């Protein structure tokens, strides 16, 4: 049985300052076609005349722009505070060293504090310093892009290679998109693969999450993990089985997760149209709008739309 989180944590997870519904697209495992599902679903909503924000929250490997065939535009640097030490003012109290939860500050010699290792910009050292010996420098962690094409706006974060501060960038991308939330009918969030805290951070506020998987033993295993995690946060979830015609494992995948009680929202077979869209960098919904695959995405968009008849968030708090 899943660990139950405190109701206040769940309430906090679901709280947002706007009423535009958020649909998450995630998957316990990489390479299952999560981004393909996200961009095609975005294209399907746009085809239905909806104004869509698509957040590519996989900041380590953002690829929604490639799958949409649009270049990233309007770059903005995302910076965090990084301490700058003044040995002339330092009294050697070492309060900053003790305050750093990342254990990144080191007293290399008297009155000389050195930053070694990761800094998440929390400002704790700056705040505890009694001698104003720490200045607020800045450190770039990545770039945020906002790309508009008709009724679709793509918000992308690209982490600086080699850095580990992906959570900061995911938050920056969400914050930028959420500031525009009232302009959209729907917000789609395409997360990183896995079940780490960045995934949950990216899905915060989601009204419904599509857990994408494929019918393989690894896919079934990772699906179980992501469904358990979403269950802990009381997130309404359904499953999308990609490459559903892979032999042998579909029945097992359907049974996976909370004794098979999570509904399957869509099944997508391997097909040449999807492959052509993938190779050409265009959603199959745009490339072959009358294909059976495009109709699956359009149908999925229809069913999700039916859950939000006035395109406003449902009263999730009342359901919890
Ligand atoms: S808290 Fe300020 S004064 Fe104390 S060791 Fe750090 S830099 Fe120096
Ligand atoms: S800003 Fe935070 S993480 Fe960075 S060195 Fe200071 S206390 Fe440590």
- 311: pLDDT strictly greater than 80: no
Give me ligand 2 centre to Cα 100, in Å: 5
Give me ligand 1 centre to Cα 141, in Å: 25
Mutate to test the pocket of ligand 2, among 80, 82, 94, 102 (most ligand atoms within 8 A of CB): 102
pLDDT of residue 161: 80
Of 11-15, 49-53, 195-199, the one with minimum mean pLDDT is 195-199
Which sign, positive or negative, has the C-alpha torsion 123, 127, 129, 133? Answer: positive
pLDDT of residue 317: 44
The residue nearest atom 2 of ligand 2, judged by CA position, is 122
pLDDT of residue 318: 44
Q: Express each pLDDT in 72-107 by its tens digit.
A: 999 999 998 999 999 999 999 999 999 999 999 999
Contact 253, 223 (CB under 8 A): yes
95 lines ligand 1 (CB under 6 A): yes
Who's near 165: CB < 8 A, 6+ residues apart? Answer: 80, 118, 120, 121, 141, 142, 159
Name the nearest CA neighbour of 232 among 48, 14, 45, 61: 14
User: What is the mean predicted confidence (pLDDT) over 26-45?
Assistant: 90
Give me ligand 2 centre to Cα 139, in Å: 12
The residue nearest atom 6 of ligand 2, judged by CA position, is 125
Starting from the CA of residue 126, give the closest ligand.
Answer: 2
User: What is the mean predicted confidence (pLDDT) over 142-165?
Assistant: 90
Query: What is the model's pTM?
Result: 0.87
pLDDT tier for residue 320 given thresholds of 50, 70 and 90? very low
Decide: helix, strand or coil at residue 209. strand
pLDDT of residue 197: 80
Starting from the CA of residue 113, give the closest ligand.
Answer: 1
Query: Which ligand 1 atom is at minimum distance from the Cα of 91?
Result: 3
Q: Which residue has the tokens 């924000």?
A: 53
Of 44-48, 95-99, 137-141, 214-218, the one with minimum mean pLDDT is 214-218
Taking the C-alpha atoms of residue 73 and residue 145, their distance in angstroms, rounded to an integer, is: 6
Contact 186, 45 (CB under 8 A): yes
Q: Express each pLDDT in 244-290 by its tens digit.
A: 888 766 666 666 655 567 888 999 999 999 999 989 999 999 999 99
- Is the backbone of residue 234 left (phi > 0), alpha (psi -120 to 50) or beta? left
pLDDT of residue 314: 60
pLDDT tier for residue 160 given thresholds of 50, 70 and 90? confident
């Amino acid at each position: 049985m899943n660990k139950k989180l405190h109701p206040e944590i769940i309430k906090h997870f679901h709280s947002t300052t706007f009423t535009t519904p958020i649909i998450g697209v995630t998957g316990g495992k990489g390479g299952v076609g999560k981004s393909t599902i996200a961009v095609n679903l975005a294209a399907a909503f746009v085809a239905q005349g909806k104004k869509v924000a698509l957040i590519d929250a996989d900041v380590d490997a953002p690829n929604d722009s490639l799958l949409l065939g649009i270049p990233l535009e309007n770059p903005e640097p995302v910076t965090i505070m990084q301490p700058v030490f003044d040995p002339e003012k330092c009294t050697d109290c070492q309060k900053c060293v003790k305050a750093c939860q990342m254990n990144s500050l080191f007293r290399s010699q008297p009155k000389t504090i050195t930053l070694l290792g990761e800094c998440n910009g929390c400002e704790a050292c700056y705040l505890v310093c009694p001698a104003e010996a720490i200045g607020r420098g800045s450190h770039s962690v990545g770039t945020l892009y906002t790309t508009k094409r008709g009724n679709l706006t793509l918000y992308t974060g690209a982490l600086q290679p080699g850095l580990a501060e992906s959570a900061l960038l995911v938050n920056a991308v969400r914050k930028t998109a959420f500031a525009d939330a009232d302009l959209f009918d729907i917000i789609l969030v395409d997360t990183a693969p896995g079940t780490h805290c960045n995934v949950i951070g990216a899905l915060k506020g989601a009204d419904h999450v599509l857990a994408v998987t494929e019918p393989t033993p690894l896919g079934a295993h990772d699906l179980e993990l992501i469904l358990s995690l979403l269950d802990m946060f009381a997130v309404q979830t359904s499953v999308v089985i990609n490459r559903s015609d892979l032999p042998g494992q579909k029945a097992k995948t359907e049974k996976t997760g909370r004794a098979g009680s999570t509904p399957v929202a869509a099944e997508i077979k391997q097909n040449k149209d999807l492959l052509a869209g993938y190779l050409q960098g265009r959603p199959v919904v745009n490339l072959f709008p009358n294909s059976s695959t495009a109709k699956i995405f359009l149908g999925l968009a229809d069913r999700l739309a039916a859950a939000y008849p006035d395109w406003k968030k449902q009263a999730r708090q009342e359901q919890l």
